[in-house]
Amino acid sequence: MNAVFKQRRARVGWMTLVLAGLFLMAVLRLIVLVEFDGPRLVSLAKSEHTGETELAAVRGPIVDRNGEPLALSAETRSVYARPAAVFDTTTARERASLAAALGLRPRELEAKLAKPAPFVWLVRRVSPARARAAEALGIEGVGALSEYKRFYPESNLAAAVVGLAGMDGQGLSGLELEYNRLIRGEPVELSFYHDALGHPIFDSPFALRTPEPGAQLKLTIDSSIESLAETELASEVQQSGAKRGAAIVLDPFTGEVLAMANVSAQPDSVHDRLHNAAVQDAFEPGSTMKGILASVALSDGAISLNKQIYCEEGHWTIDRRTIHDDSRHGWLDLAGIIEVSSNIGAAKIALGLGANRYYDGMRAFGIGLRTGIDLPAEASGLIMKPSTWRAIDLANHGFGQGVAVTPIELATAYAAIANGGLIVRPYVVAAAYDAQGNVILRHTPQVMRRAISPEVAHQVNLLLRNVVNGPNGTAHRAKVDGFIVAGKTGTAQMVNPAGGYYQNRHVCSFVGFLPADDPRLLILVVLYDVGHGHFGGLYAAPVFSEIASGAVRDLNIAPVDGHYDVAGMIPVPGLGKAGKELDEAAAPDSGDEIPALTGVGSPATPNFSGMSLRRALAVARKIGVTPQVNGGGYVVAQEPAPGAPLSHADIRLTLAPVQGDEPEARARLVTAGAAVPGGAL
């Protein structure tokens, strides 16, 4: 009996130990699961039973200074699917019908549905009609949501400034990138829950948060001036054989950028939006640096207006290097050196100034520094430290070789000469408004520093006028009828990456401002990679003249010597005295009063060149005619020509989104039989 009892007690004891051991193992496993594997398992459970995606909100519009839209968002539909539900409730034939409705091949649809995900996009941003066709099939697990697609109503106008937004609503370049946080709005967060078989737990699988539309950006850009700048620049790029060109128009007192044109000889709609040469590319400025040299030398007292410098009859050797002038000159004062653009004279002024003082003066003008413009990826020019300069380096820097600037950098520096000596930060966004119209950002003129005194700025202003108006000036083709223009030409050899300079590849430029007595516009034109003999005065200066002529009309800037009655009218470019009659008949801005068409004594045909369609129609209505319109965007050609009688004529306008070379359009600016000096406009 005792033996049997002892055996039972032993068995119970062993069983107790085994159960205690198993319990201890379970406890230890639980501790491991909770303390060590818990976060991983929780995350895994969430990923298996929940899904999230993000829908972009409505990106805010981008408009020019007059409210003309440059970037908008249009509502589209995106079709999604829950693959498990689709496979459970459909046949292969039904899925083929779904593929046809979405414009997909059946195997493409099957591949999308085969992805190991509880939620997939079948198509993104398609027309509402296509989305409705898919939803009308009534397939469980298939639905559509509203998304927004970015488009640019003026095509590539100001493309590099406006930039590009991607499929997901993210800014990729330009203002779309720089102000992405403001204009993208608050995206919609989409969450859904399902069981182990992929079926939704709730009646509605979506939890949507109300989206906040993005802010509207109002730019300083004027679409009419921008269109004109791109048109004239594209024409000259083609005619001169340049690889590309850039032009900037800004208010020298406020820093507002009215136009920033970038044109390539081989346009690429995507690349043109991704790269802004006016802000991101540097070049050697050549003789445009002489205006800055004169400013620094006068400020420092290194030269006076009356001092004579011997220009060596066109050839001068220093450090076993020869500096050349384009023509032979003897003794010249500072005005003469600037007027004829003597490299030797500029080199001697730089040597007299000294490396350290010239370097400090250039830095005061912002050479080698970013301007701070509100555009992404701004590059800076390049100036080596003066301790590394040899005598020949200092001499070369005097006429703009061995120094690199960006177009916006050079334009900002010359704006200081125009405005009395102040470096003003350039900007392209005037203000930003939320969806309710409240101002959330406003830019105002910002003075960065003083480069030169007002007295020196005035002296250099007078010197630069000789470049355009002097008998030996290098930029006679920069003249604008009725206005005094001050400016400087530049031609520089392009740097060879392998070392030295290309002999037959140049950058030519012209930078100037008008009216010189009260500057309202600062315009820079740069043509890259042109052949030998393509001087800034011959190729860049005429582009300046055409842009300036259109801009003064657009902004109603009155000619200094014009009669009050025609103060807001712009002369036909290039006609000079021979076109005086057409000058008086040229069209006023659309805001001016235009008499109704009355037959005899009716007004002349306005100059519609560069106007948007809306503006052209407004002008036409005021003269009592309805124009025939071909194309869209901005006016590149018209019939009848500006100045022609309107009594028995309809107006025919040809428009293009981005204006290219239109020889016919330029020819039509002159009425039949009108004389054109030199045989060309």
Question: In this structure, are residues 475 and 536 in contact, taking their beta carbons and an 8 Å threshold?
Answer: yes
**Which bin fits 5, alpha (ψ -120 to 50), beta or left (φ > 0)?**
alpha
E strand spans, 244-287 = 244-250, 257-264
Instruction: Report how far apart, in Å, the C-alpha atoms of 431 and of each of 68, 171, 276, 421 are.
Output: 15, 18, 21, 26
Nearest to 482, CA basis, from 522, 517, 525: 517
8 A C-beta contact, residue 184 and residue 31:
no
Q: How many residues comprise the chain?
A: 681
Cα separation of the two ends of the chain: 132
Taking a C-beta distance cutoff of 8 angstroms, is the pair 527, 507 a contact?
Answer: yes
Is residue 657 within 8 A of residue 156, CB to CB? The reply is yes
- Tracing tokens 């993000």 back to the chain, one arrives at 54
Residue 595 to residues 204, 604, 620, 621: CA-CA distances in angstroms?
64, 10, 11, 10
DSSP per residue over 316-355, as a string?
EEETTEEEE-SS---EE-HHHHHHHT-HHHHHHHHHHH-H
Radius of gyration for the alpha carbons in the chain, expressed in angstroms and rounded = 34
Is 287 assigned a catalytic role?
yes
Element (H, E) at 97: helix 92-102
E strand or H helix that includes residue 545: helix 536-554
Residue whose C-alpha is closest to residue 312's, from 338, 295, 332: 332
- Mind spelling out the 3-state secondary structure of 150-164? EECCCCCCCHHHHCE
Residue 69 to residue 234: CA distance in whole angstroms: 23
- As given in the structure block, the two tokens for residue 436 are 């309710």
Number of C-beta neighbours around residue 626 at 10 A:
10
Dihedral of alpha carbons 292, 293, 294, 295, sign: positive
What is the rounded distance in angstroms from the CA atom of residue 631 to the CA atom of residue 556?
27
| Alpha-carbon span 342 to 561, nearest angstrom | 32
DSSP code at position 597: P
Q: Is 144 helix (H, G, I), strand (E, B) or coil?
A: strand
Q: Are 70 and 157 in contact (CB under 8 A)?
A: yes
- Given 73, 287, 549, 602, the catalytic residue: 287
Residue 45, φ and ψ in degrees, nearest 5: -65, -40
Task: Provide, for the chain, the percentages of residues in helix, strand and coil under a 3-state DSSP scheme, each rounded to the nearest 5.
Answer: 40, 25, 40
Q: What three-state secondary structure class fits 76? A: strand
Q: Which among 39, 40, 137, 147 has a CA at the least distance from the CA of 96?
A: 137
Angle (deg, nearest 10), helices 407-419 and 289-300:
40
Is-contact 146 206, C-beta < 8 A?
Answer: no
- Three-state secondary-structure class, residue 642: coil
Catalytic residue numbers, as ranges: 287
